Chains A and B, each alone.
Chain A
Amino acid sequence: MSELKEYKCPCCGGGIEWNAKAQKMKCPYCDTEFEPETLLQYDKDLSKLEDDDLTFENEANAGWSEEEQNKMNLYVCQSCGGEVIADNTTSASSCPYCGNPVIMKGNLSGDLKPDYVIPFKYDKKAAKAGYQKHLSGKFLLPKVFKDENHIDEIKGVYIPFWLFDSDVSGNVIFDATKEIVHHREEEDIIETKHYNVIRGGSVSFDNVPVDGSTKMDDALMESIEPFEFKEAVPFQTAYLSGFLADRYDVDSEASKKRARERIIESTISEFKDTVTGFDSVTTKDTSLKFSKGNVKYALYPAWILNTTWQGKKFTFAMNGQTGKFVGDLPTDKTKFGGLFGVTFVAITIIMYILLKLMGM
């Protein structure tokens, strides 16, 4: 039986051995026994899966023309190293990431020019209103934080995004269980039946965005999603007037890993939705193949506000297309302690009275 020595136990992952006494395949770690045919079937499922593969072709990789370069200035922040682009009519004075002064550094020779841009739909006034609304109705927010805000420094920034298209095809194996409870005289016997559930098919994704700037927090940028690519237009320098644009410093090659992770998760979840009639469904194995990959470079609009409060930096962002406003806020520790204490004492007293009334 040496050809079977590589089987892994579907129950615990341990290596399975042939048990001569039971005349069955048996896992020495968890004692689960299997008919050899079950394992052969499992082996067949695994071997037909293909290796992951993801290649993307750049749709366009044009650089800036000389005329465009002359209209653009590159600024660099002396403090955090952030680089922003602004056209001649817009002067950048402070860094959108840290608020420190920026200085003009040169031009954009060698950079890729964006293929698309989603123009701003929300103006500065709307961004300020969004910030006020974000702060309202939050009980544990320190009152002083509201009073000390530097709301005028909110900046409209075009963020560089790599947009990935891909078709995904392949298989996902799920471990699904059904629970059966057998009632006996003094005890219940719970039997959990495990099934291997295989789903195969294909899914397509368009314009999965990955932020191409290391200075811009990735979680913050994913929090203001989604962006509607339908409203994107071919890039023209005129859209930059009055706004800053962040310069990309992560190339599409380095960004595709993140797009791929999200695409895989979504594909598994689409396949999982078709697995019904079980008490639990967990992903056991996946093998997905990417094809027809394509990448575009686009600028997406965001309003960014940085504030420092009690030595800690807080960054807020509003989606300039949808108005979605995000940003973590500080907790008032005194209020938090008070809320906890009051709730604890009140509930304890109420519970005590209730239990006494019930005769305990």
Chain B
Amino acid sequence: METLLISCAVGLVIAFVVSFSFRAQLKSVHFQNEASSYLREDSVNVDERSEYYTYSTRSVRSNGNVSGKNTINAHGGFDGPGGFGGPGGPGGSIGF
């Protein structure tokens, strides 16, 4: 019985993918998000680059299940390495 259910589920997913990809062939009208075709040649100039660590979240995964416990620790400063597993407060829940 379980085998049949798994087979049906896989069949359903693949049938969705196949039929909707065939239907996507019929759609060709979309807004453009960007204007990259109109970028002036050699005009991109990124001269300011910086980054710094802000905070961390942690989650525990066991046997493929995610339980949402996270502990947070943060250090300021540029390119701070950041700490791991410091004394954080009781964890909130951040999923994937």
Chain A interface residues toward B at CB < 8 A: 10-11, 22, 26, 29-42, 134, 137-141, 167, 171, 175-176, 180, 182, 186-209, 217-220, 222-223, 225-226, 259, 262-263, 265-266, 269-271, 274, 325-331, 336, 339-341, 343-349, 351-352, 355-356, 360
Contact = CB atoms under 8 A, between A and B. Distances in A.
Nearest to A271: B46
B3 A189 contact: no
Given A343-B15, A347-B15, A140 B34 contact: no
28 contacts: A31-B91, A33-B89, A35-B74, A35-B76, A37-B76, A38-B52, A38-B74, A41-B76, A41-B78, A175-B54, A189-B61, A190-B58, A190-B60, A190-B61, A195-B51, A195-B52, A198-B51, A200-B49, A203-B39, A209-B38, A262-B35, A263-B35, A265-B34, A336-B19, A346-B11, A348-B11, A351-B10, A356-B3
Given A33-B73, A347-B14, 10 more contacts: A38-B52, A38-B54, A190-B60, A196-B54, A200-B49, A201-B46, A202-B43, A226-B37, A336-B22, A351-B10
Contact of A200 (B47, B51, B92): B47
Contacts of A32: 55, 57, 72, 74, 92
Contacts of B90: 31
Interface string B74-96: 11111000101100111110100
Given A199-B49, A274-B46, A327-B29, A205 B55 contact: no
A349 to B, nearest CB: 8
Interface string B21-37: 01101111111111111
Contacts of A205: 35, 38-40, 43
A259 to B, nearest CB: 7
Contacts of B56: 191-194
Contact of A192 (B12, B48, B58): B58
Contacts of A201: 44-48
Contact of B88 (A33, A193, A349): A33
Given A198-B49, A200-B46, A223 B54 contact: no
B55 A11 contact: yes
A33 B11 contact: no
Given A191-B56, A194-B56, A219-B30, A203 B74 contact: no
Given A194-B55, A339-B18, A206 B62 contact: no
Contacts of A204: 39-40, 43
Interface residues of B, number: 68
Nearest to A25: B74
Given A30-B92, A262-B32, A262-B34, A355 B26 contact: no
Contacts of B33: 262, 265
Contacts of A330: 26
Given A31-B72, A35-B75, A192-B57, A219 B31 contact: yes
Nearest to B58: A191
B89 to A, nearest CB: 5
A21 B91 CA distance: 16
Nearest to B40: A204
Given A329-B26, A340-B15, A351-B7, A203 B43 contact: yes
A296 to B, nearest CB: 12
Given A198-B51, A199-B49, A205-B35, A339 B28 contact: no
B49 A34 contact: no
B43 A193 contact: no
Contact of A326 (B28, B52, B75): B28
A335 B22 CA distance: 11
A207 B41 CA distance: 13
A187 B39 contact: no
Contacts of B54: 10, 34, 38, 42, 175, 194-196
B4 to A, nearest CB: 6
A187 B74 contact: no
A337 to B, nearest CB: 9
Contact of B32 (A34, A189, A225): A225
A222 B14 contact: no
A223 B76 contact: no
B77 A327 contact: no
